[in-house]
Amino acid sequence: MLSFISWFVPNVPGWLTLDANPLDSLLQGLIGACGVSILRDLLRVHLFLEDQRDESSGKETSRQRTLKAHQRSAKSGLGGMLQFGLLMGLLAVVGSRVASLVVLEFSLRAISAWVAAGPDSKLFLQQLLVQCQFSLGCALSCSLHFLHEGAPQRWLCLLLAGALGWFLARQAARLLHHAVALYELHSSQRYCGVCIILLTAGFSLLPTLRRALVTTFSVAVVASISIINKHFLSATEALRFWTPLTICYTLLVVYMQEEQHRQPTGQAVLNTVVVRLGGLLVLMLTVGRWADVLHILLCFLGEVSCLVPTKDLLDATSSQDEGNRDDSRRRRTLQSPHAR
């Protein structure tokens, strides 16, 4: 958007313009927003199926009560379209350099949390999927910037990818609406193919999302390192940037792990967003450029636009964590007299 201004005002500073053609940046933002929408809708489908299994087994969980609101708000409307447009615009304006920093920070945080929680922790994976929304958009954006750099018909490739992403996002939204409205009836009558597939193979939805997430961020990490290193003219300059960045990331990861263990709630996640992006902002004020500072401020809006509408999912996973802790304490209490 800002590069359009430079067409009319030639003296606009270079740090106010986009990294690429405005059309290419807009298409990259569209693809990133579609990826976030697909992730969010499929995660809601997974949590809805888990709640249906709890109901069929006669278990009433606090997470089930928390998710009642999101089932009523799953219908798309003006608010959802405005949120999608805001996210698309933010991903289009945020530069590839800052998007790469966001991807690297999230990847390091995810690996650290995975090591601490264990590879088989389903609750950790659900929380990670909710928290990675804006980082996923940045991963798709910087990966496309890296893979299509120098392509003669770059806009055409991005247009085809954007059309595919829009189609998949609409299908994921339709699947969510169909499951919320008709799954309970169709799964009992067993005459709807979609609901039968969800009934028989719905348990594989979360592992599929995990594999897709690992693949996406693996490509994005390689792209991010390449994008950042292209801005340095010498190894000394690169070392001057990477050393404080690594220290800052390490301290942020340690702090956020301790904070989320003390307060595993949606509010704690929002607090860590302020802390980690604030740390990046201070770092960019020291070793970055003015464009990086502006784009990190836009990342604040991007994270908020992704996490606030899905705060019910954060609270639901947190309530499930608290329920699991209560169950484990209850089992230990029941087993202790027998042990004595």
Cα distances (angstroms) measured from residue 338 to each of 114, 160, 162, 326, 327: 35, 65, 61, 19, 17
Highest mean pLDDT among 48-62, 236-250, 271-285: 271-285
Residue 90 has a pLDDT of 92
- Pick the more confident residue, 201 or 3: 201
Closest to 257 measured CA to CA, from 268, 267, 247, 246: 268
Residue 161 has a pLDDT of 92
| Full DSSP string of 295-340 | HHHHHHHHHHHHHSTTHHHHHHHHHHHHHHHHHHHHHHHHHHHHH-
DSSP at 309: T
Q: Which residue has the tokens 């992730």?
A: 39
Work out the average pLDDT over 292-309.
Answer: 87
Q: Specify the pTM.
A: 0.82
Domain ranges, ordered by start, for the chain: 21-326
Query: How many CB atoms neighbour CB 129 within 10 A?
Result: 22
| pLDDT above 90: residue 218 | yes
Tokens of 147: 């893979």
Work out the average pLDDT over 175-195.
Answer: 81
Q: Which residue has the tokens 């609409």?
A: 170
Tokens of 290: 């003015």
Closest to 158 measured CA to CA, from 168, 169, 147, 167: 147
| Inter-residue contact 162 to 31 (CB < 8 Å) | yes
**CA atoms within 13 A of residue 131's CA, in its CB half-sphere:** 30
**What is the tens place of the pLDDT at every residue in 196-212?**
888 888 888 888 999 99
| pLDDT above 70: residue 182 | yes
- Pick the more confident residue, 299 or 152: 299
| pLDDT above 60: residue 304 | yes
Tokens of 19: 């990294």
| Inter-residue contact 29 to 90 (CB < 8 Å) | yes
Is 265 strand, coil or helix? coil
| pLDDT above 60: residue 66 | no
**CA atoms within 13 A of residue 67's CA, in its CB half-sphere:** 25
Residue 65 CA to residue 57 CA, distance in Å, equals 16
Weakest-pLDDT range from 73-77, 93-97, 316-320: 73-77
Q: Helix axis angle, 22-56 relative to 122-131, nearest 10°?
A: 150
Phi, psi of 20 (to 5 degrees): -135, -175
Tokens of 72: 């009523």
Weakest-pLDDT range from 18-22, 63-67, 190-194: 63-67
Residue 196 CA to residue 42 CA, distance in Å, equals 16
Is 310 strand, coil or helix? coil
Residue 106 pLDDT level (bands cut at 50, 70, 90): confident
Q: Burial letters for 84-106: b for 16+ Cβ neighbours within 10 Å, e otherwise?
A: bebbbbbbbbbbbbbbbbbbbbb
Q: How far apart are the first and last CA of the chain?
A: 71
Query: How many CB atoms neighbour CB 56 within 10 A?
Result: 11
| pLDDT above 80: residue 272 | no
State the average pLDDT for the chain. Answer: 76
Cα distances (angstroms) measured from residue 244 to each of 169, 241, 279, 280, 321: 39, 6, 11, 10, 35
- Pick the more confident residue, 306 or 185: 306
Work out the average pLDDT over 148-172.
Answer: 90
**Which percentage of the chain shows pLDDT scores above 70?**
69
Residue 267 has a pLDDT of 65
| Residue/partner pairs of 148-152 with CB below 8 Å, 24 or more apart | 148/24
H/E element holding 1?
A: none
